[in-house]
Amino acid sequence: MGWSRDDAKLDRVRALMADEGLDALVVRAPDNVLYLTNFWGMKGYDACVFPREGEPVLICLEASAEDAERMAWPEDVRFIRGYHAEDPRPPLSRTLDAAVEAARGHGRVGLELSLGTQASDRMVGEPTTFTKAWFDAFPDAADATPLLVRARSVKTAQEVERMRLANEIAAAAMDHVREHIRPFMKEAEVAALWQGYVHGAGTGWRGKVELALPFSLIWAGPGIKTFTATGDLPVREGEPVLFETWVCADGYWADHTKNLVVGELRDDYARLERSLMDVYLQALDSIRPGAPMAEFDRSVRAGIEEMGYPGQPTHPICHGIGARAHEPPYPHQAGGGEFAEGMVLAVEPGCYWEGGGGLRVEDNFLVTAGGLEKLSPFPDGVVRVG
């Protein structure tokens, strides 16, 4: 699916480059390449040289020529071979040579020197990371990561539209599971229902999504914990099934935590749901443009402590989402900053019982002048089945 060039986004990047005195950015993290070129590569061998003035250069494998023709915004696309009979080095060596050549003649160059995480390529299973040679090739480069963080923290209208698609797919997959989940199904079988729908129905979604990829952690009852893998515990009536899910739709993400229960929710879980939803709704109501991020994290955690869960959760309460499932801003007490109009946030308070069990709620929200706009049509809290 081709998207028209997002000039609002690219102009913002160039304005920040001017503020920092940077003449060009050289990026190769797949999410930054996608952000600047709309090209989402297959294997992470791609790069972009993005000048403050002039035409960007996209560098990608020859095998991706059709993808680049269909997706990429830059007119200057330079191809490298995955294998070259006269140059048997790994392909990233040729990417680096091409990036150095494309950056030649630019003055001050910015590089991703402090990248903490990166999104993967379309193959997903084996992220391709940076080599020392990549950094050595640009010894005088400035760190462009803070600039890219500032640019990416506020979304354009096109980015929001793309994230709405990911949110729609995630919600439709939950509706699908809601129709088919049954007692004694294994967690992994429930996960397969959800993942199969995302990949099968989400690819081609409304004629706007070329590839939808699913990622999930599904936990049933006592399997609900902060960080564990999906297992084979059975779905049981009265106990919630927690869906920690991510949808990637052509490189833009949705990140949700939803909950289903077969039959009536057990009393202890029902009490936890009521208390946690009170904290969640108060948290959402407190996010406004200009509100301090540190105070948000502090107040939500104080509310969870009042529920009887001091020190919880161990995972973040809130983070940005966009061309990665987790990206800045990261509101926390040790940091600063304020919420701003145009940010898209995942808000996810949770409480967990010793030995297993508990609840988490999470959705994605666009910060507007008047507050938050929920991007997913699927309900929060615990949704009853049957």
171: left (phi over 0), alpha (psi -120 to 50) or beta: alpha
What pLDDT score does 120 carry? 87
304, 316 Cβ separation under 8 angstroms: no
What pLDDT score does 125 carry? 79
Tokens found for residue 32: 């930054």
- The string of DSSP letters for 96-135 reads HHHHHHHHTT-SSEEE-TT-------SS-SS-----HHHH
What are φ and ψ of residue 328, in 5° steps? -60, 150
What pLDDT score does 282 carry? 97
Give per-residue pLDDT as tens, 36-78: 999 999 989 999 999 999 999 999 999 999 999 999 999 999 9
For the chain, where are the E strands, in sequence order?
24-27, 47-51, 57-61, 76-80, 109-111, 142-143, 212-220, 240-249, 252-262, 318-320, 344-347, 350-352, 358-360, 363-368, 371-374, 382-385
What pLDDT score does 375 carry? 98
Mean pLDDT in residue range 220-244 = 96
Give per-residue pLDDT as tens, 181-196: 999 999 999 999 999 9
Residue-range domains of the chain with CATH: 7-153 (3.40.350.10), 157-385 (3.90.230.10)
Give per-residue pLDDT as tens, 302-336: 999 999 999 999 999 999 999 999 999 999 999 89
Residue 227: pLDDT over 90: no
Mean pLDDT in residue range 189-211 = 98
The residues facing 61 across adjacent strands are: 80
Q: Predicted confidence band at 82 (pLDDT cuts at 50, 70, 90)?
A: very high
The residues facing 219 across adjacent strands are: 242
Q: Running DSSP on this structure, what letter comes out for residue 234?
A: B
3-state secondary structure of 146: helix
Residue 105: pLDDT over 80: yes
What pLDDT score does 1 carry? 64
Residue 23: pLDDT over 80: yes
Give per-residue pLDDT as tens, 259-283: 999 999 999 999 999 999 999 999 9
Among candidate residues 339, 188, 187, 162, the one with its CA nearest the CA of residue 254? 162
Percent of the chain surpassing pLDDT 70: 100
The one-letter amino acid code at 76 reads D
